[in-house]
Structure 1
């Protein structure tokens, strides 16, 4: 039976080719994900190994809030330590050097006079010199003093600068003319980061103005071990500081990187799973139609003594062959894709590791997935073939579809249950009450879990229900074709509706892809609408001055440059700091009193936020107040990162705004009494002086921030557009990832049409014999393809929009307050369905039109 199975695959290779392609694409996605993650991990391992080279590190013992920390790029940020502590550590027996680590943001001006920007990685100023073990001078000399810099090789290339050139950097909040004295190299790939080397004294003065640094690197003298040296250093450290070995620091950094990469891997694997799931529809359809066509063959095998189990095993053997071939090709394709991705990143300046690792585990998992998907998809058709009585199989040219009554009931129940869970999730998520339904058991449910379960149930329900409604829906969709293209439209409609189960299985792959595309489009449109609504309703300032990167800090001199302008009436800076609130690390938004009157009209839940700031009280978010059970009048204990200063403040107001992400808002003076003296400014909200037009104010602001190069002046509309542009960038990535499922769905339609032509060979021959032309036959195939594609798309769009409609309720606290359906995009998706149908029909149409008439009518 194994030989029979393999001979069947060879004899009908074209029949299984598209199924193999579907497996290949899905497996390539999986292999590509694993390999891409491994390549990123290798890149960061190289960076960590070549930058964290000290034997011991000294840092603050307490962890601080990561969102506003300017500390290490790797691992969990800790409280800073005094620069002066380096002298104490340097006196420890076995210590050769103790170097305060000072680095931070810098803006480099390229040869063409514009700021050097990247697609994501930052521009960082670091200390370089002959005593720094992580850098090697490639040409020129090391910088000395504040008017000289050195550039890392890729940074020099990106800026078009070399040794001897003059340029400008924005450092310590002010533009600074500098000379490039040298070019240096690092052992690891820079991964797109722009590294600017500074004289160590300049770096320390620039990035540690308050006398503290994130870490102190300690280098051993002689053969003393890291552990012994760390213990010796710990003995001289004050309370609030700790020492750890270099290996422990590197391990911690790797763990931090692995957490981020783990999220990326999971995110990509979700789309790989979608691709494999969609591919399973093609495989199931292929084997179902193959079994229908080969019923007499199986009946003959049964008559010759083959058992049902042997017939079933032969079909599964074919599925294993398809899975193995597809998976093997997918492994190769996945590796090729990652190599191409590495080259693409390199072309943008983000050099990744030269190694593209492919582990045995990745290969085994990928091949196992390919085989598993194929076998599971073929199991039901195989069981049907094995259990069909030989006599019945001998007499049925094409077995009729079984009734869809049971499936209709199950599908309807699943769809209704899913819809109910989506409604419940939306209600629980949007309600301000602690008991929105009055039933404790229901009110305690997690809205996001309900959303996920409800969406899954609704999608599966529609898939199960699809065969029961296919005939009616396609009859409606076919009205234009039936009316305009007689009699081809009617013939095509009959062919599609004759086998609703097959049509639904074919359209199911496209249904899933289009549901996800539609849901993603609605989420993006709703997010953009919500952002515009929040900005329009809450931002009172005429302009907002922020970094061009939107999420970066402003150069320190920007606030002073803006505040002193005659055209400016109010310039209110929004800064971010860190401290402990009731013993827990937290970020704090720091603003001047009057901010909630002049700059931001935040919805107030309770209290008066501006009065609270003026009185030295805290303003807290509604989410934090609910989670921590804070009420107006409660007392919060604020503690500095180093634990040296503590202050109790009263909760004076509760607000509900997404413009401010911190749980706690403090006035400048209140934060200064307990927090770090120097914290970054992220935005300045500016209003015009009396008698000054907004146009005059913009001109003045633009001129004032021009020397800082990377600062933008935005009105409310531009601020909303900038946020919407970030959503669009994410949307492009999601559409690209979902595009694979659409491609696989297209293969499914091609596959089904091609197999249906084999199945209907005699019918096609008879139609040709009574006068149907080749072009007319191709037209029928095209209409069938378009109807199938449009049917799957319509169901997918409706399902996707219905699922996305629940999201504003569930994600209201994250700022998704509006529901917007992008009808233009919906029409574009429907147009795409027609294109998919047309493309999918080309090869089957050509194949059908070339069937010899006499051979076709005599096919048994």
Structure 2
């Protein structure tokens, strides 16, 4: 029977082409995911290895242990004194901000150069290594991007640190809260990427300068050890560990060989790659499920069309097992061929994706080493072959279910009774009811614990599973109703198209289900993402009704305030005094702003409550009658409960005067224009920081937070929709395959209709209507179900952040998805319609099927 299977594939290769394409897409998706993961891992290992390339031993922090540069510095001297150690150099990193006349503000990953020049992993292009405490060497790409050259100056923000040892009760600090130190650029160097912070601008200074200004902010990457010639690495490693264990950092640092340190660091840094790979594999799994539905449906149509042929083989002596093996063998061969093509395409796609990433986003994707592990190739081929075998089980069973004599009778299997499917439909409906009930319970119980988010997710899964299981009972009536309303008015082609989709309900349901899964997920992500963003924005405005706030350690002068008001996008800006609530509320310690009521109305959001003289305005769920506020004095002040502002409390100047608000505790409160785009918020933040001469990290507020998470949600939405496009594409291939095979299956019927007067145009319209009906109904069901699930997910995820659910979605996106489904349905009917039109009525009536 293997020969029979191969002969079928060779003779009817066109019927199997779409199956192979769907399998190739699913298998290629899996292979591409694994190849990209392996390539990122290999590139990360290479980047980490380069940072230790000239060391002999490395002392690195334990997992999840933060070691400050100031804490590790005292170990360098005793380590250097160990016999066999040539030098011990600190490798650390601090992320800080700097300004220059050439640029307003920028973040830098700043590190000390090794004390031993032989441990340098950078290559000087011009200038010299840093020598004084305020010398700076910049990465060449950073210098080019910022327009900085040798001789320019950059002013860095540093936290207040002790300048000398004081007693514990009275430490001596360099400044109040922030200081600025000016560094001179003395060199440019090729530094490569920091594997822990890809895309961050890099700079180097002396070890002394780093210790003086940045050590308390930064963390230790490693202490690199260079050994003398002939030294015993194992003995030195043991003695280094003893030095560590006898210090205050005992248990926090571990001495390793360079190879072991590279492995450990790579494993710690690869967590993000693992998460990305897991997410990609989830989307790949969705595409595999859709491919199984498409392949199973297509094979069912093929087997149904060969019913008489299989019966004839039974009459000639073929056993049921042989026929079963023949159908499965066909699927296996097609699956292997499609998988191999998909895996090879996956290699090319992986190479193209990495090349594009390096070309267009070199900072975000610095890794350009393509690695194709054998496991990825085997997994891709195995997934494709396995999904095909699973998809052919039901068609193979149907091939041997009918006796030979019954199969030879002129009987249309599409009208055969399906009493065996009744329990299947009952199970499906039960799953849908259980899913709806679980979602309702989760929506009511989510206020008690966030664990009910899982309940909502499970409920959504049950609904989708129930729809798949009982699709033959649910989808055909919807198809028939929509076809009767929208397509029957188009005359005979529309009426016949509706009837044709109902001739085999299971086939129609399976074809539509594959597309429903993809569209449902797309709609869930679009509606859920956009509604979550809108709901979070609303909740943030309720909890913190200040668009932008800047805490200052002194009074702001009129000139600075005027500069802020002139920034495009700023509607109002005022200065205010601030105090601090002594006790936490909902896990945060709110700031207390002192404003007069008239000023408050210009800068506070619409959700803010009106100020009440002599009281502190707190949210309506505040539990106490007074709030403890600290200014120069500390006292309890009566509260006025109104609104939901839990991150910031507000009071009037009379309360501020009684507290004794310090002139050094002021703030600038800013309200933005109502039409400011989210993408402009970061620009406004940078401009405000420059105008007030503070780091941008000190510029806070609801708008700043909204801009940060809005950008993240938009990126996630774009990525998820792009990945789900593969599943939708596979499903649309299934629609095309169904229409194509129905033409082959109904060639005699189409010829008879042509002989009775159906024109070629009407025949083409008939097939186009049939494809559009299936795809459009699937898209509508998917959009409705996905939109509902997206709103449920939004309510479950945002219940702690907003009292209201803000529904937001893009009607254009929904129209676009429906339009794509309709256009895809029309395109999928072009080739079958052309094939049907070429067959003359006389030739078609000669056929025996």
Counterpart of 2:256 (choices 218, 240, 246) is: 246
SS at match of 1:272: helix
Match of 1:87 in 2: 77
Alignment partner, residue 220 of structure 1: 227
Q: In structure 2, how many angstroms separate the alpha carbons of the residues matched to 1:412 and 1:699?
A: 53
Pair 313,197 (structure 1): closer, same or farther in 2 beyond 3 Å: same
Distance apart, 1:853 and its partner CA: 2.9
Please name the residue that 1:462 is paired with.
467
Cα distance in 1, alignment partners of residues 94 and 619 from structure 2 = 33
Partner in structure 2 of residue 681 of structure 1: none
Kindly indicate whether the alpha-carbon contact (under 8 Å) linking 1:299 and 1:394 is maintained by their aligned counterparts in 2: yes
* Residues 563 and 859 (structure 1), Cα distance of their counterparts in 2 relative to 1, 3 Å cut: farther
User: Cα distance 1:771–1:459, how it changes in 2: closer, same or farther (>3 A)?
Assistant: same
Aligned to 1:349: 362
Aligned to 1:408: 425
Cα contact 1:92–1:233 (8 A) shared by 2: no
Q: Does 1:234 align with 2:244?
A: yes
Partner of 1:15: 15
> Counterparts of 1:465-544 in structure 2 under 5 Å?
465-482=470-487, 484-541=489-546, 543-544=548-549
Find the residue that maps to 1:96 and give its secondary structure. Answer: strand
Give the direction of change, closer, same or farther, for the CA distance of 1:312–1:614 in structure 2 (3 Å limit): farther
Aligned residue number for residue 648 of structure 1:
none
The 8 Å contact of residues 339 and 385 in structure 2, kept in 1 or not, is answered as yes
Structure 1 residues 331 and 712: alpha-carbon distance in aligned structure 2, compared to 1, 3 A threshold: farther
How much does 1:454 deviate? 2.0
Kindly state the Cα deviation for residue 753 of structure 1 after the two structures are TM-superposed: 0.6
Q: Using a 3 Å threshold, how does the CA distance of structure 1 residues 138 and 721 change in structure 2: closer, same or farther?
A: closer
Kindly indicate whether the alpha-carbon contact (under 8 Å) linking 1:458 and 1:799 is maintained by their aligned counterparts in 2: no
Q: Between 785-794 and 503-512, report the one with greater CA deviation.
A: 785-794
Distance 1:109 1:336, change over 3 A: farther
Aligned to 1:792: 778
Instruction: Indicate the residue corresponding to 1:371 in structure 2.
Output: 385
CA shift at 1:242, angstroms? 3.9
Distance 1:276 1:157 in 2: 46
Counterpart residue number, 1:779? 765
Q: Deviations over 1:83-103 (max 9, x none)?
A: 334334333444332333342
Hey, what does 1:841 align to over in structure 2? 829
Distance verdict in 2 for CA 1:127–1:531, change over 3 Å = same
> What is the deviation of 1:741?
0.7
Distance 2:250 2:79 in 1: 15
Cα distance change on mapping 1:36 and 1:177 into 2, 3 Å: same
Aligned counterpart in structure 2 of residue 125 of structure 1, from 103, 110, 116 = 110
Confirm or deny that 1:271 pairs with 2:283. Answer: yes
Task: Report what 2:564 is aligned to.
Answer: none
CA offset digits 1:483-508 (Å, max 9, x no partner): 54112211111111222111111111
* 1:208 counterpart SS class: coil
TM-score, normalised on structure 2?
A: 0.78
**Contact 1:164/1:181, CA 8 A, preserved across alignment:** yes
**Contact 2:153–2:185 (CA under 8 A) maintained in structure 1:** yes
Q: Deviations over 1:6-30 (max 9, x none)?
A: 1111111111111111111111111
Q: Return the offset for 1:727.
A: 1.5
Contact 1:522/1:822, CA 8 A, preserved across alignment: yes
Aligned ranges 1:87-236 → 2 under 5 Å: 87-106=77-96, 113=103, 123-128=108-113, 130-145=117-132, 148-156=135-143, 158-159=145-146, 164=150, 166=152, 168=154, 170-172=156-158, 174=180, 176=182, 178-179=184-185, 181-186=187-192, 191-208=198-215, 216-222=223-229, 223-225=231-233, 227-234=237-244, 236=246
Q: 1:277 to 1:240 in 2, by over 3 A?
A: same
**Structure 1 CA distance, aligned partners of 2:555 and 2:502?**
69
Inter-partner Cα distance in structure 2 for 1:168 and 1:207: 15
Cα distance 1:105–1:243, how it changes in 2: closer, same or farther (>3 A)?
Answer: closer
Q: Does 1:383 align with 2:415?
A: no
TM-score by length of 1: 0.77
Shift of 1:241: 5.8
Q: Retained in 1: the 8 A contact 2:543–2:646?
A: no
CA distance in 2, matches of 1:369, 1:737: 18
Work out the CA distance in 1 between the residues paired with 2:246 and 2:402.
83
| Contact 2:484 2:498 (C-alpha < 8 Å) held by counterparts | no
Q: Structure 2: how far apart are the matches of 1:537 and 1:187? A: 41
Corresponding residue for residue 760 of structure 1: 746
**Distance in 2 between residues matched to 1:659 and 1:3, nearest whole Å:** 75
Q: Is the 8 A contact 2:68 2:220 kept in 1?
A: no
Shift of residue 738, structure 1, vs aligned partner: 0.8
Do the aligned residues in 1 keep the contact of 2:69 with 2:211 (CA within 8 Å)? Answer: no
Aligned partners of 2:390, 2:290: CA distance in 1, in Å? 13
2-side partners of 1:324 and 1:344: how far apart?
30
Q: Secondary structure at the match of 1:430?
A: coil
User: What's the offset of the Cα at 1:109?
Assistant: 7.7
Q: Judging changes above 3 Å, is the alpha-carbon distance between structure 1 residues 782 and 615 closer, same or farther for their aligned structure 2 residues?
A: farther
Q: How does 1:664-813 map to 2 (within 5 A)?
A: 686-687=668-669, 702=688, 704-705=690-691, 720=706, 723-808=709-794, 810-812=796-798
CA–CA separation in structure 2 for the residues paired with 1:712 and 1:759 = 70
Output the CA distance in 1 between the equivalents of 2:218 and 2:380.
Answer: 53
2:593 and 2:541 map into 1 onto residues whose CA distance is 19
Paired position in structure 2 for 1:667: none
TM-aligned CA distance change 1:210 to 1:785, over 3 Å: closer
CA drift of 1:538 comes to: 1.7
Residues 209-257 of structure 1 show CA distances to partners (whole Å, capped at 9, x for unaligned) of: 5798575444434423253243332354236564312345434322222
Inter-CA distance 133–409: structure 2 relative to 1 (3 Å threshold): same
Which region of structure 1 is more displaced relative to structure 2, 729-738 or 600-609? 600-609
Contact 1:57-1:218 within 8 A present in 2 as well: yes
Structure 1 residue 481 displacement after superposition: 3.4
User: How many residues align structurally?
Assistant: 744
Does residue 570 of structure 1 match 2:587?
Answer: no
Contact 2:38 2:371 in 1 (8 A): yes
In the other structure, the counterpart of 1:553 is none
SS, match of residue 123 in structure 2: strand
Query: Counterpart in 1 of 2:174?
Result: none
How far apart in 1 are the matches of 2:685 and 2:398? 76
- Which secondary structure does the structure 2 equivalent of 1:356 belong to? coil
Q: Return closer, same or farther for 1:265/1:802 CA change in 2, 3 Å cut-off.
A: same
Q: Secondary structure of the residue that 1:124 maps to in structure 2?
A: strand
Aligned to 1:850: 838
Q: Check the 8 A contact 1:411/1:465 in 2, yes or no.
A: yes
Higher gyration radius (CA): 2
SS of corresponding position for 1:741: helix
Residues 62 and 254, structure 2, Cα contact 8 Å, conserved in 1: no
Pair 1:616–1:135, CA change in 2 (3 A) = farther
Verify the 8 A CA contact 1:167 1:180 in the aligned structure 2. no
Decide which of 260, 272, 275 is 2:272's aligned counterpart. 260
* Residue 608 of structure 1: how far off its partner (Å): 7.8
Q: Is the 8 A contact 2:292 2:391 kept in 1?
A: yes
Contact kept in structure 2, 1:593 and 1:610, CA below 8 Å: no
